[in-house]
Amino acid sequence: MAPHDIRRPFKRYAISDQQKRREIALQRQAQQRRDSQHHARCLASSVLSLPNENNPEPIPPEPTTEPEPE
Amino acid sequence: VAGIELPHNHWPELIGSLLSNIHQLPSHVKQATLETLGYLCEEVSSDVVDQDHVNKILTAVVQGMNSSEANNDVRLAATRALYNALGFAQANFTNDMERDYIMRVVCEATLSAEVKIRQAAFECLVSISSTYYEKLAAYIQDIFNITAKAVKEDEEPVALQAIEFWSSICDEEIDILDEYGADFSADSDVPCFYFIKQALPALVPMLLETLLKQEEDQDQDEGAWNLAMAGGTCLGLVARTVGDDIVPLVMPFIEENITKPDWRQREAATYAFGSILEGPSPDKLTPIVNVALNFMLSALMKDPNNHVKDTTAWTLGRIFEFLHGSTIETPIITQANCQQIITVLLQSMKDVPNVAEKACGALYFLAQGYEDVGSVSSPLTPFFHDIVQALLTVTHREDSGESRLRTAAYETLNEVVRCSTDETAPMVMQLLPVIMMELHQTLEGQKLPSDEREKQAELQGLLCGCLQVLIQKVGSSEQTKYVFMQHADQMMGLFLRVFACRSATVHEEAMLAIGALAYATGPDFAKYMQEFYKYLEMGLQNFEEYQVCAITVGVVGDICRALEEKILPYCDGIMTQLLKDLSSNQLHRSVKPPIFSCFGDIALAIGENFEKYLIYAMPMLQGAAELSAHASGADDELSEYTNLLRNGILEAYSGIFQGFKGSPKTQKLMPYAPHVLQFLDSLYLERDMDDMVTKTAIGVLGDLADTLGSNARHLIQQSVSSKDFLNECLLSDDHLIKESAEWASNAIRIVSG
């Protein structure tokens, strides 16, 4: 049972640049993941909602469904 | 042995037989018994010892501590045993009489003639201050008197513990007040008793006295911890606890001492000033800083004492950290004084290593304060060239290995680059080959002895960190990207060579830099994959240094987005390793949510080719989803982790659905749809999601509808998520949740025809 160490940081600046680099990298990755998802969704919705003029093969329409009862 | 056996109830008679020894003579048996009880309490969790035994242990320990105990060894063993037993004493501390008795005995022990007993007794008080803060009101006045006497008169190890008591009270009150501040409506578990505010008029002078007790060489000795250091640290915590109220109590001390001939007085005054810069409002501090700034700059240049200069540079850094930046109304750095400040700091970077390191730190915060100036112009632009040159010169100093000087110089360079604007882009571009050359030189060296190798590895880590920042800066704008592209091959070659070095920090830094490089190069990154792959795999296998593993998982995501389907040849290996990581008990749990997100990145990149991984990945996701859906947090840390895990799982689902979109293999996902919807429903019903999870969850509903189309119509319509959850999200104030919900609503509308 040695005495408990009570040393605290002394005249140390609070920020660690290494930690900051990690966090910035994580933020960048999260942002890009969101952008990729967003891009995929935009592609999907444009395929779904816009008539594709350049494509000789018309996009098969979504199978028509019967109106659902409320 | 008891640590293993007691939790399994394999040694029920142990405590009883130990306690029976207490009443025996001779003293050495008593002492050994108390020591054993102390170790036992240190090792064993408090829930495996029943209250009856706890009571008996505490009785024995407190009896051993009592001033009537003649043998000091017994008394010391008992006091140290109490330190370890305090965690068991929850019930006893709620009983007024028992608590009074324990506190009386501890306070008496602080007055023992034996220094070790006094020290151990103060250690008990420190532990009580954090464990039983809310029970201290009745004793705080007495404790103040005891600690004040110890700080003033006692030997250093005892005085340090006495100061630590007040630092620890500050920690408690800062936490409580933070909680108050975060949510006014929250019923904090523990109310704030404002002990520090009440003690302030006596506490501050006591701490200020300690500042004058510096040691001659304390700034050179990394392991040093003395009265002046502890007192200043405590003063800083007091300032954070009480804010403005501390300022008038400290100012007279500063004014009286700052110009005295004795360096100790000048240093103490400066340290006091630097210590109180975090906590009080800028309104209160700015006028004082405006007066002090010139004096500080002059002291940094002219004071004959290195300690004074060290503390002055540190104080300037704290001024820029807390009182300079876009959020501060009245700027303390103006057109009129900017040049002088920079000139002094650059000059000071030529001083002895400990002073130069603090000057670099001050420059770091000076640059940081300008990070929001916009993309065009910064007040630092006219000095940019000189700043960069001065920092590079510091990194080349023979003595830059001392006092973290080289690290500080590179880190400051990073911040200066991060906060730079278009005006200085040409200089930032020129820096890229310079830092590459530095890294190249570290790789050319002959075989080094092991301590040199360690320093070399540290330098390589710093250079990779710097290159990461440069890649991000130069690669982020179309105007400068071409320069980066010119160097990309060479840079990648350097990073691959860095992997030959075994240090974890270097791997992490090189990996982060490669992630940034992959993002900036895009599909061109494919040409590096063959060579890079083995290091990627090594990173994913690095269970012990989980930070390296976590960073590598993130880089897999970067590469997926850069290469898209070109990553396919490497996916078997990557997926195998990620699945192994998920199944491992060895891997730190914090890496698991990003691994799930990474499944999403891979699926989005390779589309329907993800099919062959479905049978492995989906059960993992389902298992984790079931666990996380109902794991509503017992504590904040667990609920934060649960939400991270949920987010990872949902990002995986999102990526998988979007990846398969439009493929004939979409049907392969149908069997998993009921579970995904069930997961969304249970998340909604648990009502403990954070905003991030809500946004991702409602997005997954849209992705599922979008990809599976009318085949999933009935399933979707049966789910709560497609009705109540979606409707709530559509009405959300959070723009991102609303946007995701609109996406989901649109996709469901199309599916429903």
**What does the alpha-carbon distance between residue B656 and residue B617 come to, in Å, rounded to a whole number?**
10
**pLDDT over threshold 50, residue B266:** yes
**pLDDT over threshold 70, residue A51:** no
Res B40: pLDDT: 77
Contacts of B595 (CB under 8 A, 6+ apart): B553, B578, B581, B582, B648
Whether A13 and chain B come into contact, CB under 8 Å, resolves to: yes
Give SS3 for B92.
helix
Tell me, letter by letter, the H, E, C secondary structure of B116-141. HHHHHHHHHHHHHHHHCHHHCHHHHH
Q: How many CB pairs under 8 A join A and B?
A: 136
Res B747: pLDDT: 92
Q: Is the dihedral of CA B601, B605, B606, B607 positive or negative?
A: positive
**pLDDT over threshold 80, residue B203:** yes
pTM of the model: 0.89
Supply B539's token pair.
């990173």
Res B18: pLDDT: 66
Q: What is the pLDDT of residues B680-696, one digit of tens each?
A: 999 999 888 899 999 99
Q: How confident is the model at residue B725 (pLDDT cuts 50, 70, 90)?
A: very high
Q: Are B661 and A40 an interchain contact pair (Cβ–Cβ within 8 Å)? A: yes
Average pLDDT over residues B403-407: 93
Query: Around B284, how many Cα atoms within 13 Å sit in the side-chain half-sphere?
Result: 17
Q: How confident is the model at residue B438 (pLDDT cuts 50, 70, 90)?
A: very high
Measure in Å the smallest separation between the Cα of A19 and chain B Cα atoms. 11
Q: Are A10 and B160 an interchain contact pair (Cβ–Cβ within 8 Å)? A: no
Res B26: pLDDT: 72
User: What percent of chain A shows pLDDT beyond 70?
Assistant: 54
Q: Are B703 and A22 an interchain contact pair (Cβ–Cβ within 8 Å)? A: no
Whether B146 and chain A come into contact, CB under 8 Å, resolves to: no
Average pLDDT over residues B72-96: 92
Res B656: pLDDT: 97
**pLDDT over threshold 70, residue B453:** yes
Q: Of A10, A37, A63, which is closest to B654 when you measure between CB atoms?
A: A37
Stronger pLDDT, A69 or B571, i.e. the higher one:
B571
Q: For chain B, report the end-to-end CA distance as a whole number of angstroms.
A: 69
Average pLDDT over residues B604-613: 96
Query: Around B381, how many Cα atoms within 13 Å sit in the side-chain half-sphere?
Result: 13
Q: Which residue of B has its CA nearest to A36?
A: B561
**pLDDT over threshold 60, residue B713:** yes
**pLDDT over threshold 60, residue B6:** no
Whether B160 and chain A come into contact, CB under 8 Å, resolves to: yes
Average pLDDT over residues B155-183: 92
Q: Of A14, A29, A65, which is closest to B557 when you measure between CB atoms?
A: A29
Q: Of A13, A25, A68, which is closest to B317 when you measure between CB atoms?
A: A13
The single-letter code of the amino acid at B323 is: L
Q: Are B706 and A44 an interchain contact pair (Cβ–Cβ within 8 Å)? A: yes
Tell me, letter by letter, the H, E, C secondary structure of B649-690. HHHHHHHHHHHHCCCHHHHHHHHHHHHHHHHHHHHHHHCCCC
Stronger pLDDT, B303 or B1, i.e. the higher one:
B303
CB contact at 8 A, B698 and B648: no
Q: Are B706 and A41 an interchain contact pair (Cβ–Cβ within 8 Å)? A: yes
**pLDDT over threshold 50, residue B458:** yes
**pLDDT over threshold 90, residue B49:** no
Q: Which residue of B has its CA nearest to A64?
A: B753
**What does the alpha-carbon distance between residue B559 and residue B523 come to, in Å, rounded to a whole number?**
9
Whether B699 and chain A come into contact, CB under 8 Å, resolves to: yes
Res B114: pLDDT: 94
Res A67: pLDDT: 46
Show residues of chain B in contact with A14, CB under 8 Å: 321
Average pLDDT over residues A6-17: 83
> Closest by alpha carbon to B48, among B7, B17, B90?
B7
Q: Are B516 and A65 an interchain contact pair (Cβ–Cβ within 8 Å)? A: no
Cβ burial, residue B388 (10 Å; 0-12/13-18/19+):
buried
Q: What is the pLDDT of residues B540-559, one digit of tens each?
A: 999 888 889 999 999 999 99
Q: Are B229 and A10 an interchain contact pair (Cβ–Cβ within 8 Å)? A: yes
Whether B303 and chain A come into contact, CB under 8 Å, resolves to: no
Round the average pLDDT of chain B to a whole number and report it.
91
Whether B339 and chain A come into contact, CB under 8 Å, resolves to: no
Q: Are B554 and A29 an interchain contact pair (Cβ–Cβ within 8 Å)? A: yes
Res B188: pLDDT: 58
Round the average pLDDT of chain A to a whole number and report it.
70
Angle at B723 between CA B721 and CA B725, to 5 degrees: 50
Measure in Å the smallest separation between the Cα of B472 and chain A Cα atoms. 9
Res B586: pLDDT: 87
Whether A39 and chain B come into contact, CB under 8 Å, resolves to: no
Contacts of A20 (CB under 8 A, 6+ apart): none
**pLDDT over threshold 60, residue B187:** no
Q: What is the interface pTM, i.e. ipTM, of the complex? A: 0.85
Stronger pLDDT, A70 or B562, i.e. the higher one:
B562
Res B17: pLDDT: 65
Measure in Å the smallest separation between the Cα of B346 and chain A Cα atoms. 19
